[in-house]
Amino acid sequence: MRSIKVLTLLTVILFSMSCAHKVSRIEPTETPDISGKWNNTDSRLTADEMIKQCLSGGWLSEFTDKKGKKPVVIVGMVSNKSHEHIEAETFIKDLERAFINTSKVGLVQSGKKREEMRAEKGDQQSNASVSTMKKFGLENGADFILQGSINSIVDAYKRKKTVTYQINLELTNIETNEMVWIGDKKISKYVKN
Amino acid sequence: MKKISISIFLLLFGIVLKAQEPTKVPDQNPDYKKSENKYTKGQEKTLQGMNTTEQKTYKAYDWTESKNEKKVERVAFRRKKQLARINNICHVRGCNNMNRYHTHPIFHRR
C-alpha cells in the first residue's frame, strides 16, 4: 500500500516537472529557427552584410578624397513591405554602431530623438547659464541620407512554404540627389509544417 | 550737399540689401528659392518618420494558417450561436425558471 502511494507521488512530481514552464539562456548569436519567421539571426546576418558592403563601398573613399573630411550620414525611413512585422532598427543600429566605431563615417541624429534634442536646446535658452547654453543653428548638416525597404516573396502549398526576404538600403547624396550606394541582402527559407 | 547725402543713403541702402541677399553658388538654379520656400514650411510631418520603420505589411496566403484560421472561426461561430440560443431562452421564458433546460426543444434533441 505504501509503495503504491510513493509511486503515485513520484508520478505526480515527474508529471508536474515535465509540464513546468522552462526558460534557458542562449547566446544571441545562436538563435534557433522555431517558426520560420524573421528572427534575430536574420537581423544579425543582414547587419553583418550591410556593414561589410557599406564600409567597403567606393563612395566613402571618393567623398573623403574630394572633400577632405569624413561623410556625415542621417538615417531616414525604412519601409517594411513584407508580410511580417519587421523592425529595421535592429540592423540599422548595428550599422550605425559600425559607422561610429570605425570613425570613417559621421552620424547625425534624426526623427523623434532630434526633436527631443532641439526641445532641450530650446529649454536651455531660458533656463541654462549663458556660458553653458547651446546655440541654435550650429548643427552638422548631413551629406548623405540612408533609406531602405524590406520586401518578401511567399510561396506556400499545403504544409510547405518558401519565404524570401530582400532587404535594400540606399545611400543618397542630399545635395546632388545622386544614389551612391545600394546595399542588398537576400534571405531564403524553406519551412515544412 | 543734398545730392551727396541722398547718394550716400542709397549706397548704404544698397549695401544692406546686398548683405541680406544669400550668397549664390556658381551653377545654382536661379529658381532655387521656390523649392527652398516649399520645403522649409511644414516639413515636420515628413521628417517625423525618419529613423523609423514604416510598416506596410501584406497578408501572405498560407494553406496551413488559412485552414487553422477557418477552424478557429468555425468554433467561435458555434459558441456564439449556442450562447445566442441560451440567451434567447432566458429572454422568452425568464432566467429564473429552473426547468428551462428540460423544457426547451434544443435540449430535447439530446
Query: If you measure CA to CA, which chain A residue comes closest to B47?
Result: A111
Q: Is residue B40 part of a domain?
A: no
Inter-chain touch B48–A159, beta carbons under 8 Å:
no
Q: Is residue A28 part of a domain?
A: no
Counting the structural domains of chain A, the total is 1
Q: H/E element holding A51?
A: helix A40-55
Q: Is residue B69 part of a domain?
A: yes
Q: Is residue A91 part of a domain?
A: yes
pLDDT tens sequence across B24-36: 678 888 888 888 8
Structural contact between residues A54 and A183, judged by C-beta atoms closer than 8 angstroms = yes
Q: Is residue B93 part of a domain?
A: yes
Q: Is residue A45 part of a domain?
A: yes
Rounded to a whole number of angstroms, the distance from the CA of B32 to the nearest CA of chain A is 13
Whole-number Å distance between alpha carbons of A15 and A32: 27
pLDDT tens sequence across A102-120: 999 999 999 988 989 889 9
Q: Grid coordinates standing for B16?
A: 544692406
Q: Is residue A12 part of a domain?
A: no
Burial environment of residue A50 by CB neighbours within 10 A (0 to 12, 13 to 18, 19 or more)? buried
Q: Model ipTM?
A: 0.70
Chain B interface includes A193 (CB < 8 A): yes
Residue whose grid cell is 559600425: A98
- Kindly report the number of other CB atoms within 10 A of residue A154's CB atom: 18
pLDDT tens sequence across B39-79: 878 777 778 888 889 999 999 888 888 899 999 999 999 99
pLDDT at B44: 76
pLDDT tens sequence across A58-99: 999 999 999 999 999 999 999 999 999 999 999 999 999 999
Whole-number Å distance between alpha carbons of A162 and A189: 6
Contact residues, chain A, for B69 at CB < 8 Å: none
Q: Is residue A20 part of a domain?
A: no
Q: Where are the alpha helices (DSSP H) in A69-192?
A: 89-102, 111-127
Chain B interface includes A157 (CB < 8 A): yes
pLDDT tops 60 at residue B110: no
Residue whose grid cell is 428540460: B102
Q: Is residue B92 part of a domain?
A: yes
Which of B51, B54, B55 is most worth mutating to test chain A (most A CB atoms within 10 A of its CB)?
Answer: B51
The domain in which residue A132 lies consists of 39-192
Full DSSP string of B68-101: HHHHHHHHHHHHHHHHHHHHHHHHHH-TT-TTHH
Q: Is residue B36 part of a domain?
A: no
Counting the structural domains of chain B, the total is 1
Q: Is residue A22 part of a domain?
A: no
Structural contact between residues B51 and A93, judged by C-beta atoms closer than 8 angstroms = no
Structural contact between residues A172 and A180, judged by C-beta atoms closer than 8 angstroms = yes
Q: Residue A68: left (phi > 0), alpha (psi -120 to 50), or beta? A: left
Is the model more confident about B102 or about A25? Answer: A25
Q: Which of B48, B51, B56 sits opposite A75 (nearest CB)?
A: B51
Whole-number Å distance between alpha carbons of A160 and B15: 77
Structural contact between residues A81 and B57, judged by C-beta atoms closer than 8 angstroms = yes
* Secondary structure of residue B67 in the 3-state scheme: helix
Q: Is residue A55 part of a domain?
A: yes
Q: Which of B54, B62, B64 sits opposite A79 (nearest CB)?
A: B54
Which of A87, A92, A112 is most worth mutating to test chain B (most B CB atoms within 10 A of its CB)?
Answer: A112
Q: Which residues of A77-116 are buried (b: 16+ CB within 10 A; e: fewer)?
A: bbbbebbbebebebbbebbbebbeeeeebbbebbbeebee
The domain in which residue B93 lies consists of 63-108
Q: Is residue B56 part of a domain?
A: no
Q: Which of B53, B60, B64 sits opposite A154 (nearest CB)?
A: B60
Q: Is residue B76 part of a domain?
A: yes
Q: Is residue A173 part of a domain?
A: yes
- Domain with residue A154: its CATH number is 3.40.50
Q: Is residue B15 part of a domain?
A: no
Which 8-state DSSP code applies to residue B42? S
